[in-house]
Chains A and B, each alone.
Chain A
Amino acid sequence: MNKELEHSFVTNLEQNQNIVHKVCRIYTNDPDSHNDLFQEITIQLWKAYPKFRGDAKFSTWMYRVALNTAITLYRKSKRSLSTTDIESINFKIKAEEYDDEVEQQLKLMYSAVKQLNDIEKALVFLYLEDKSYKEIAETMGISEVNARVKMNRVKTKLKKILNP
């Protein structure tokens, strides 16, 4: 394939790699799986790149391919995370501005998100990325109303996990 295309792709991905890393964080539980999923998403992005026309933002386009890879194409089974596994979650939570209670709550929240199913994780991820319900609906292929309804259900589910 032509060098110019390779160069523009790698440059684009290098600048926007955070999106892929965040998807990997949500869908995997250890660094090896993280790298593995990152690798597969990169290949899928690269395969789809010649059709990327630039009429959408590169980052917007990445969300779809990255999530589709995590939900649909990624084959390896994931080690499921038990509720007691909170400490092993690879999110940075410690911060000076947080008091202990908030810190503990965040820890629990991240572990609760990890317990959601693949589709729910995608919804939460897009929500956390500040996507509108319209965008969430389009990415998932469901109606906007259903995206809202499902998001509310996920919120309830998270509450239940947090306060059993």
Chain B
Amino acid sequence: MDELELLKQDWKRQEEVLPKLSYKEIYQMILKKSSSSVKWIFIISILEFVLWASIDILVRVSGNYENFEVYELKGFSTFSTVLSYVILGYFIIRFYLNYKRIQTTDSAKVLMQNILNTRKTVKYYVWTIISFLSLTAVILVSYIAIFTDKYKVDGSQEQVPVYIIIMITIIVLAIFMGIIALFYRIVYGILTRKLKHNYEELEKLEI
């Protein structure tokens, strides 16, 4: 006989040994807090939004914004601030809509897809904002190096070439992005490893 059929016949008998919880015990359970992966994904995503969105505020508080004014870049700074909030707004709305779509009553595959999409929204936000910040930094350094005297050594001829300053900026930014990417891979990996694995397993079935 088919082994699974044998198991199926026996399966019903398993009910005899299952625990029996009382009304009160079940009631106690609904008062407790969930510790599901979705909850953690939600918390970490919100933290990421807060962290990256607060960079702008940090720059202001630390007084670095005065630099823009000194170098007549006020227009540029206003533009970049507005743009960064537009980016933030767009991603928060997308995140919210994706998060709302997560329903445990969906099929396993749709549920997994929705969770992964929600997570991806935050990932895209982080990369968009990092690219944006880096680009702003490169533009700023280039502008200062080309149009102002800030990097000129007083009166001497040994001036650092402009391209070297820009190159160094780009290298520093690349290293910074590399570290963030690595950190991201680890956090993202821990959060969604099981989910991704199971999702891939279901995907394989469709080929």
Contact = CB atoms under 8 A, between A and B. Distances in A.
A16 to B, nearest CB: 11
Interface residues of A, number: 67
Interface in A116-164: 117-119, 122, 124, 127-130, 138-143, 146, 149-150, 155, 158-159, 162
Would you call the interface of chain B mostly helix, strand, loop, or mixed? Answer: helix
Interface string B1-20: 01110111011011111111
Most A C-beta atoms less than 10 A away, residue of B6, B19, B205: B205
B104 interface: yes
Given A11-B23, A43-B34, A73-B38, A113 B18 contact: no
Given A72-B108, A73-B37, A9 B30 contact: yes
A109 interface: yes
Nearest to A159: B3
A141 B110 contact: yes
Given A25-B14, A42-B29, A141-B108, A73 B36 contact: yes
B26 interface: yes
Given A6-B27, A75-B40, A146-B205, A17 B21 contact: yes
A79 to B, nearest CB: 14
A162 B3 contact: yes
A129 B14 CA distance: 11
Contacts of A42: 26, 29-30
Nearest to A139: B107
B30 A141 contact: no
Interface string B106-130: 1111111001000000000000000
A4 interface: no
Nearest to A149: B205
Interface string A51-69: 1100000000100110111
Given A44-B34, A73-B36, A67 B7 contact: no
B30 A65 contact: no
B105 A64 contact: yes
A73 B110 CA distance: 13
Interface string A76-98: 00000000000000111101000
B34 A47 contact: yes
A10 B23 contact: yes
Closest 3 CB pairs of A and B: A141-B109, A141-B107, A73-B36
Interface of B: 2-4, 6-8, 10-11, 13-23, 26-27, 29-30, 32-38, 40, 103-112, 115, 194-195, 197-198, 201-202, 205-206
Interface of A: 6, 9-11, 13-14, 17-18, 21-22, 25, 34, 38-40, 42-44, 46-48, 51-52, 61, 64-65, 67-69, 71-75, 90-93, 95, 102, 105-106, 109-110, 113, 117-119, 122, 124, 127-130, 138-143, 146, 149-150, 155, 158-159, 162
Given A25-B18, A69-B104, A162-B3, 5 more contacts: A17-B20, A113-B7, A119-B108, A141-B108, A146-B206
